[in-house]
Amino acid sequence: MNDTSQESPLAKLKRYDDMRPGIPGEHWLTLAAGLGVWWVSRSHRSPVVRTLGMVAATALVGRAASGRDGLAKVLRWLPVGQGIRPM
């Protein structure tokens, strides 16, 4: 049997993401999306919407900082980022 048939949907998504070419500035767009989600949802009346907005914003900012072509790779070139190791 094929190994991919037993693969979880999350593993398939990660494999697809690793195979696709990166978009220039992708980490900056992801960071902006995360901040945008937080900005829009932070003052909503519903605590559920505020919580889901914070979760989504945290995931997007985390992706921008640590994902493929993420900010961690950019920050390594700065003096304060010398201790950052590639993932």
pLDDT digits (tens, 9 = 90+) for 6-15: 888 888 877 8
Cα–Cα nearest to 30, from 6, 59, 2: 59
What is the pLDDT confidence band of residue 1, given thresholds at 50, 70 and 90? very low
Tell me the HSE value of 9 on the side-chain side, using a 13 A CA sphere: 0
Q: What is the pLDDT of residues 36-78, one digit of tens each?
A: 999 999 999 999 999 999 999 999 988 887 776 566 666 666 6
DSSP alpha helix (H) spans, the chain:
9-19, 26-41, 47-66, 71-75
Structural domain boundaries in the chain: 24-87
